[in-house]
Structure 1
Amino acid sequence: MKKLEICVPATTANLGPGFDCLGLALDIFNVAVVSWREGVRLTPDQLYEWAKKQPFEQQAIAAAYSYYASQQTVDLPLIDIDFTCDIPIARGLGSSATCAIAGLMAGQYIHQGSCDKEELLKLTTDLEGHPDNAAPAILGGLVLSAGNETGPVTVNLPCHENIHTFLMIPDFELSTGEARAVLPEFIPHREAVKQLAAFGFLLQGLARGSHDLLRQGNLDFLHEPYRRQLLPEYDTIKKRLLDCGCSVVSLSGAGPTILGLFAGSADEADQLAPLIVRELPSGWELKRVQINHSGLRQFCF
């Protein structure tokens, strides 16, 4: 029996004004160990039916595996999936993207014997509908991405070692569909101009580790003014994080997790955590998480 271990990091997307195009990989992982035997292989249609019968916690990985078979028009063996989920589900930390990547990676490796990250990113984007979580999860670090008719386009951007991340994770879920439903179709032109400026300041602040530049980038008109109504405690938590010294506070992806970016030394970041939790609303957990620079990792044994 052959085995493949696939480690996929969590991601935080948007980072405020980088709506649907900016993402950052984090050192929290979902790990899938996939086992299979060579021999009998199933058609894509058979794998699709098999995937629907898998346990809930493995179903997304199995579905992505069958999707790979259908997209490549190949027969693949059945797989056993041992899944360790350390990324909170439906919290805006890219958990669905990790499952899609794991299933597609399994199909790609069994089919080709290697990992082609460019192809993997295209397939994941096709399956997920957008690359803002998939790109940093696969490539690691801070990634700017966009989708076009030929597939996703990405670039890794510099992120200073003085940038530290804090996650405020609630004990409730928020579906991406619900968060998308509250967004308007249009925003005023003057707000779009301010958004562009804030995005530029954000990127420069991340590259230079500058608190002042990041504060200028702590602005969004595309999603947070509308999604905050789904989180009654958002304003309170955002004020707390800013008062404690965070440079940027934003929803992580579609929420409900709230991201705080701090520009300073590691010692200063260590001192920040006790201040934040001192007046934390009930039902919220603080996690200080390192930025992940390696992205997707796989081991065959």
Structure 2
Amino acid sequence: MIIKIPATSANLGPGFDALGLSLELFNEVEICENSFHCISLNGYGSEKAWLKKNNAFLNIFREIYTKLGGNPNQNFKISFQNNIPFSRGLGSSSAVIVGAIAAAYYMRGFSVDRGKILNLALEYENHPDNIAPATYGGFVSSITSGKNVYSQKCEIDADIKAIVVIPDTPMPTNESRGKLPKSFTIKDCVSNLSHAAFLTACFMKKDYDSLRLACVDKMHEEVRMSALPELFSVREVAYANGAIMSSLSGSGSTFLNLAHASDAQKIKNALVDKFKNFKVEILNIDNNGFNIS
């Protein structure tokens, strides 16, 4: 089997731990039963030999595979093509979790029910902002209740492109989250609630030109961006050149910019010219989530 799992951009400004978007940047994993254990790594992480011995995808895959009645001693040949950078706010860990669970169900011959996969993924990542769009694709607004995730999804028009700015500097989620305030004012909470609700309505109604007004955050972006002050300039340059939305991607350090297709190249050129040490890519929005073949 081959499974492709998309990168995701979470929070989207005010939607802290709740909102996410799926991007056409995929990790690809090929798995087959084998007479001996074999792992190959390409792309991000290929230089880290220890990943072959302590591989999160394989650990989760084996755990679920065994729970589904699989032989715990079964050997596999697994080939990874990692195109999602680590610790950059593009959902690399969620891609691992969702991909491993879905792959285990498929290899055991079970129906790959996306709702079930998502609920199981919550056991490994306790907020749904990345795992939900990795599962369903498109724009996803999610809540949790007990051990279940409840999501509302809408597809994004092909005219909307993502221009992602990826610095070399990683921002591990745990470290980034640890810098956030432990309490917030009622004013800031109300601001985020109202903007997250409005942002969700804009995506659902395809009112893309109101996204800039909607994506204002008062809880996490400023604190996280202060660790890499150039990100404030990234937002300024993107908006000055026609972006309809500009927000920190997840916990960073990637910055997500959305634009109409006619403006995407102009925005990319301006960002490349200004931030020569950052990687800038134009990506399509993925509306499908993980894919198995």
Calculate the TM-score normalised by the size of structure 2: 0.87
Please give the per-residue CA displacement for 1:71-93, whole angstroms capped at 9, x wherever unaligned: 55653422221000111111110
Give the match for residue 59 of structure 2. 63
Q: C-alpha separation between the residues in 1 aligned to 2:127 and 2:204?
A: 24
1:212–1:247 contact (8 Å) kept in structure 2: yes
Question: Superposition pairs for residues 1-301 of structure 1, below 5 Å?
Answer: 4-37=1-34, 55-56=50-51, 59-69=55-65, 71-72=67-68, 74-76=70-72, 77-210=74-207, 212-262=209-259, 264=260, 266-280=261-275, 282-299=276-293
Q: C-alpha separation between the residues in 1 aligned to 2:230 and 2:267?
A: 20
Instruction: Assess, with a 3 A threshold, how the Cα gap between structure 1 residues 7 and 92 changes in structure 2: closer, same or farther.
Output: same
Q: What is the one-letter code of the residue matched to 1:269?
A: A
Name the % identity.
30
After TM superposition, give the deviation of residue 69 of structure 1 in Å.
4.0
Q: C-alpha separation between the residues in 1 aligned to 2:270 and 2:142?
A: 35
Higher mean displacement: 196-205 or 177-186 = 196-205
The DSSP-based 3-state class of the residue aligned with 1:173 is coil
Higher mean displacement: 55-64 or 78-87 = 55-64
Q: What is the one-letter code of the residue matched to 1:298?
A: I
After TM superposition, give the deviation of residue 106 of structure 1 in Å.
2.4
1:244–1:276 contact (8 Å) kept in structure 2: no
Please give the per-residue CA displacement for 1:34-80, whole angstroms capped at 9, x wherever unaligned: 11059x9xxxxxxxxxxxxx950570111111331465565342222
Instruction: Assess, with a 3 A threshold, how the Cα gap between structure 1 residues 154 and 211 changes in structure 2: closer, same or farther.
Output: closer
After TM superposition, give the deviation of residue 147 of structure 1 in Å.
1.8
After TM superposition, give the deviation of residue 30 of structure 1 in Å.
0.2
The DSSP-based 3-state class of the residue aligned with 2:55 is helix
Q: C-alpha separation between the residues in 1 aligned to 2:289 and 2:221?
A: 27
2:164–2:282 contact (8 Å) kept in structure 1: yes
Where structure 1 has 5 or more consecutive residues not aligned to the other structure, the ranges are: 41-53
Q: What is the one-letter code of the residue matched to 2:61?
A: Y
Q: What is the one-letter code of the residue matched to 1:271?
A: K
Q: C-alpha separation between the residues in 1 aligned to 2:147 and 2:99?
A: 23
Q: C-alpha separation between the residues in 1 aligned to 2:109 and 2:165?
A: 40
Q: What is the one-letter code of the residue matched to 1:290?
A: N
Aligned length: 279
After TM superposition, give the deviation of residue 11 of structure 1 in Å.
0.5
Higher mean displacement: 62-71 or 12-21 = 62-71
After TM superposition, give the deviation of residue 158 of structure 1 in Å.
4.7
Q: What is the one-letter code of the residue matched to 2:289?
A: G
Q: What is the one-letter code of the residue matched to 1:293?
A: N
Q: What is the one-letter code of the residue matched to 1:267?
A: S
